Structure 1
Amino acid sequence: MEYVLTGIKVFIFLSIINVWFFRFNKATTWRGGSAKSMKEEFEVYGLSETLMYLVGALKVISAILILASIWFPSLTIPAAGTMAVLMAGAISMHVKVQDPIKRSFPAFSFLVLSVVLIFAG
């Protein structure tokens, strides 16, 4: 089970880093509305650029702490809890703008993986 949990932690870390650093200004299947970048996506949700950077910072910090929890297990619950809350918020934004349910799949997946870490932690 330890290898599975470590795999989940690495997967969350790499995925969040990918989204916020490498795909930030790129269109993806998962963006809200017809957004072609992270900034446009937050505009679709009616959220400010400041909030976009705050959410991004919280997600990246949480992802780093989730990765660090491989070596420092006491970080697991607070980091995964923060990530779960952020992912629940992402799902609610997709619902708010009436996106097709499939656009919420990544956020829902990370929410589930974060909850797994919380209960295993």
Structure 2
Amino acid sequence: MLKVLYICVSLFVSILVTNVWLFRFDKETPYRGGNATNMIEEFAVYGLDTNMLYLIGTLKIIASVGLIIGLFKTKISVYSSLLMAILMTGAIYFHFKISDPAIKYFPSVLMLFCSVLIYLSSKRILKTN
């Protein structure tokens, strides 16, 4: 049961994060910080430049790919989920910094929760193998 949950949650996080950063990058969503209508505007609202935008985006895609690889090499999931959790903590911080309503940071909280779940599950799976 743990392995099935681990697989499902890993796929969920990886697909959602990849979707946001590769396919919805320039699209308006109800979850963008402030009044931003795309990712570049959102980072500007947070006071971050485009270099930081592309660094964070690259790290999130690396973590997402790592979660998929982690389905076959569990140890990779430990590091990928930890990286994703750190990045989501940062996202939540910036939503709070600009006083966004809860609906705007809900996806980041959900991804943080899922990343922690993946981290704990992967550690447990490694112990039992």
TM-score (norm 2): 0.92
Q: How does 1:97-116 map onto structure 2 within 5 Å?
A: 97-116=98-117
Aligned to 2:64: 63
Q: How does 1:26-37 map onto structure 2 within 5 Å?
A: 26-37=27-38
Aligned to 1:18: 19
Residue 102 of structure 1 and its aligned partner are, at CA, apart by: 1.5
Q: How far apart, CA to CA, are the structure 1 residues paired with 2:94 and 2:56?
A: 13
Which protein shows a greater Rg? 2
TM-score (norm 1): 0.98
- Tell me the secondary structure at the aligned position of residue 5 of structure 1: helix
Residue 37 of structure 1 and its aligned partner are, at CA, apart by: 0.3
Q: Structure 1: 5+ residue runs without aligned partners?
A: none
Aligned to 2:41: 40
Q: How far apart, CA to CA, are the structure 2 residues paired with 1:102 and 1:30?
A: 7
Q: How far apart, CA to CA, are the structure 2 residues paired with 1:14 and 1:77?
A: 18
What root-mean-square deviation, in Å, do the aligned CA atoms of Structure 1 and Structure 2 show? 0.6
| Identity value in percent | 36
- Tell me the secondary structure at the aligned position of residue 7 of structure 1: helix
1:77-109 deviation line (CA, Å, top 9, x unaligned): 110000000000000000000000121111000
Q: How far apart, CA to CA, are the structure 2 residues paired with 1:26 and 1:39?
A: 10
Residue 71 of structure 1 and its aligned partner are, at CA, apart by: 0.3
Residue 117 of structure 1 and its aligned partner are, at CA, apart by: 1.1
1:120 is aligned with what amino acid? Answer: S
Alignment size in residue pairs: 121
1:17 is aligned with what amino acid? Answer: T
Q: How far apart, CA to CA, are the structure 1 residues paired with 2:119 and 2:22?
A: 26
Aligned to 1:74: 75
Q: Which runs of 4+ in 1 moved over 3 A?
A: none
Q: Structure 2: 5+ residue runs without aligned partners?
A: 123-129
